[in-house]
């Protein structure tokens, strides 16, 4: 079932990619936050290499137990300041959820000589339940982080689509995020992380080049 799920998701990503731009390259992060190590190992064996966790403790547990596999680990959840040191010691490939200048400064202070690749989280739908900087302030905060946090290597932005059944609202949140991303390309932004199991094809249609998919990959295997 896992192999079939992965194949289906990759086919859907490919169709959406070709409809948007045949030259676009799209990365898939498998969201493994509710999954057993056995399921992660199985999906790895079917070819998936990047996995995302949203709790530092879970990332530590799973990365240690699966240390025999060269998995590309991503941290996709909200990062509390008291967990920064633990996360940095785990050396994730990418931190998706840098959601404020304050957090960026706290990470910078703890990095020492180390560096971390990160994305600025943008709350494009302006929903109280979501973390992230506002659309209006995103460019300014991105530039401030680049200027004041030299070891935090910002490579783009991340956003979660509007939590709605209204496709127009979802599309609007992705379009606003893409517009911010486009404005940040001169600052070196190259990753636009948008789209999850329910809306990744819409996100790709608005330029996403990294999608985070969980339930569609792991459905019927719990």
pLDDT 10s digits, 111-158: 999 999 999 999 987 877 788 999 999 999 999 999 999 999 999 999
d(C-alpha 142, C-alpha 109), whole Å: 17
Residue of higher predicted confidence among 211 and 131: 211
Find residue 213's DSSP bridge partners: 30
Q: Is the pLDDT confidence value at 211 over 90? A: yes
Element (H, E) at 66: none
pLDDT of the residue at 126: 81
Encode pLDDT of 179-202 as tens digits. Answer: 999 999 999 999 999 999 999 999
Task: Judge contact between 9 and 216, C-beta under 8 A.
Answer: yes
Confidence at 221, pLDDT banded by 50, 70, 90: low
Neighbours of 174 (CB within 10 A): 26
% of the chain surpassing 90 pLDDT: 91
Residue ranges covered by each domain of the chain: 2-218
By DSSP bridging, strand 50-53 and strand 210-213 are unpaired
User: Helix H segments across 115-213?
Assistant: 135-148, 167-184, 200-205
Q: Is the pLDDT confidence value at 220 over 80? A: no
**1 HSE (CA, 13 A, CB side):** 9
Tell me the mean pLDDT in the region 166-186. 95
Place of tokens 């070196």: 188
Least confident range from 50-59, 155-164, 175-184: namely 155-164
Backbone phi, psi, residue 215, to 5°? -60, -35
% of the chain surpassing 70 pLDDT: 99
Q: Is the pLDDT confidence value at 163 over 90? A: no
Out of 3.20.20.10, 3.90.1150.140, 3.40.50.800, 2.60.120.260, which CATH number does the structure's domain 2-218 have? Answer: 3.20.20.10
Q: Is the pLDDT confidence value at 60 over 80? A: yes
- Looking at every residue in the chain, the average pLDDT score rounds to 95
**110 HSE (CA, 13 A, CB side):** 17
d(C-alpha 134, C-alpha 125), whole Å: 9
């Amino acid at each position: 079932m896992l192999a079939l799920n992965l194949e289906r998701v990759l086919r859907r990503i490919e169709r959406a990619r070709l409809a948007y731009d045949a030259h676009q390259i799209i990365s898939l992060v498998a969201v493994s936050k509710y999954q057993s190590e056995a399921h992660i190992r199985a999906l790895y064996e079917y070819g998936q290499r990047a996995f995302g966790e949203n709790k530092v403790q879970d990332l530590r547990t799973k990365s240690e137990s699966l240390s025999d596999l060269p998995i590309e680990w991503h941290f996709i959840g909200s990062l509390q300041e008291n967990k920064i040191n633990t996360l940095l010691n785990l050396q994730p490939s990418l931190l998706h959820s840098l959601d404020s200048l304050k957090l960026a400064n706290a990470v910078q202070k703890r990095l020492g000589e180390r560096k971390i690749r990160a994305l600025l989280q943008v709350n494009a739908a302006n929903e109280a339940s979501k973390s992230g900087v506002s659309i209006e302030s995103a460019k300014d905060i991105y530039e401030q982080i680049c200027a004041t946090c030299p070891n935090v290597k910002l490579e783009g932005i991340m956003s979660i689509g509007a939590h709605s059944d209204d496709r127009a609202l979802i599309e609007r949140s992705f379009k606003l995020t893409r517009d911010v991303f486009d404005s940040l390309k001169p600052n070196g932004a190259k990753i636009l992380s948008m789209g999850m199991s329910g809306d990744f094809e819409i996100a790709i249609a608005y330029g996403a080049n990294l999608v985070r998919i969980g339930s569609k990959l792991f459905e019927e295997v719990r």
